[in-house]
Amino acid sequence: MNTPRKGRAYAAVLLYTLIIGFSFMFAKMAITIADPLDTLAHRFTISLAAASAALLMTRRRFRWSKKGMLAVIPLAVFYPLLFFILQTFGLVYTTSAEAGIINATVPIFTMLLASLFLKEHSNALQKLFTVISVAGVILIFVLKGVSLASSSTLGIILILLSALSTSVYTVMARRLTQKQSVLDITFMMSLLGFATFNVISISRHAAVGNVSQYFAAFSHPTFVWSVLYLGVLASLGTSLLANYTLSQLEASRMSIFNNLSTIITVFAGVLFLQEQIAYYHILGAALVITGVIGVSLAGHHKSRSAVIRSIKKN
């Protein structure tokens, strides 16, 4: 085991979690000013500009073979394309709180897919702590009074598919980051997100004859700061951090941190939006943190055991 490298991977995933946790607050502010599809288009335009700047600053050329480019397209299809489209339209038919419950299934989906396609078999302790973490997220929303029975079936299906898209991306990225540069993968993801969401957004404006409104949201300072955060940190930054983490850690171990971002979102609302905190927030946070730490430690124990067995065989 390369301990310094693992340490950097955990630092990266913690920063990724922190950025994602605050991104919901900035997204909420942005879509109160602009249409969600316009927000996505501007978000990925800024993300592509930042990715291009990163390539220039590192003095690297974007050199990909046709085979390499074709390999990353399916990755970008699941995230950011399918994930954001499904999430955006799913939220039209259900609430963000209900979506939070469904999104808590990401670590379970990822664990199953990683086992099937990457042969990353989780031990009993990892499975137990994953369930504890998921239970912590669900507990917060259930005690808050959210009932999935009141939601539209279509909304539930769309959010569930967005969660599945994240899991598929995580598993695919785990394999691809072993072969390709993290920065190159992230640049391609930003490029495809930019092209897709801008085509959709501009086409929608053209259809109703108000293309001039495409940039209207930039007259609001709140939107400008929000979309900069979303484009530079929540799109480019998290893609870089996630891809780097997946080049070092198992997909199932990385995905459990998804639930920690929910806790950060809750406390961000308390700190910056003056939202109220209740006992179930504390209880749910404790379960999530216990699950995240437990999965990490159980995975470390499993890796160490595998190394010891390998040494004994040799």
Tens of pLDDT, residue by residue over 206-229, are 999 999 899 999 999 999 999 999
Distances (CA, A) of 59 to 66, 190, 239: 22, 19, 20
**Percent of the chain with pLDDT strictly greater than 90:** 27
Residue 182 has pLDDT above 60, yes or no: yes
Distances (CA, A) of 276 to 148, 267, 279: 22, 9, 10
pLDDT number for residue 96: 64
> 0.85 exceeded by the pTM?
no
Q: Token pair 């179930």 is at which residue?
A: 280
64: tokens are 């990909």
| CA–CA dist 252, 297 (Å, integer) | 13
Give the closest residue to 146 by CA, choosing from 157, 154, 138: 138
Task: For residue 192, give the 3-state DSSP assignment.
Answer: helix
| CA–CA dist 251, 169 (Å, integer) | 10
Q: Where are the alpha helices (DSSP H) in 58-181?
A: 66-76, 83-93, 96-103, 106-117, 124-143, 153-176
Does 101 or 232 have the greater pLDDT score? 232
- End-to-end Cα distance, the chain: 17
pLDDT number for residue 308: 42
pLDDT number for residue 302: 54
| CA–CA dist 184, 278 (Å, integer) | 43
Residue type, 101: I
CA R_g for the chain? 20
On the 0-12 / 13-18 / 19+ scale of CB atoms within 10 A, 50 is buried
pLDDT number for residue 62: 64
Residue 199 has pLDDT above 70, yes or no: yes
pLDDT number for residue 301: 53
pLDDT number for residue 307: 39
Task: For residue 294, give the 3-state DSSP assignment.
Answer: helix
Residue type, 70: L
Phi, psi for residue 145 in degrees, rounded to 5: 105, 20
Beta carbons of 128 and 293 less than 8 angstroms apart? no
| CA–CA dist 184, 309 (Å, integer) | 36
Q: Token pair 């216990």 is at which residue?
A: 290
pLDDT number for residue 273: 65
**Percent of the chain with pLDDT strictly greater than 70:** 87
Residue 309 has pLDDT above 50, yes or no: no
Q: What is the crossing angle of helices 238-248 and 182-208, to 10°?
A: 140
| CA–CA dist 171, 19 (Å, integer) | 21
Q: Token pair 């038919």 is at which residue?
A: 93
Tens of pLDDT, residue by residue over 98-155, are 677 777 788 888 888 998 888 888 888 888 988 898 888 888 777 776 655 555 778 8
Give the closest residue to 227 by CA, choosing from 16, 39, 32: 39
pLDDT number for residue 150: 55
**Cis geometry, peptide bond prior to residue 80 (ω within 30 degrees of 0):** yes
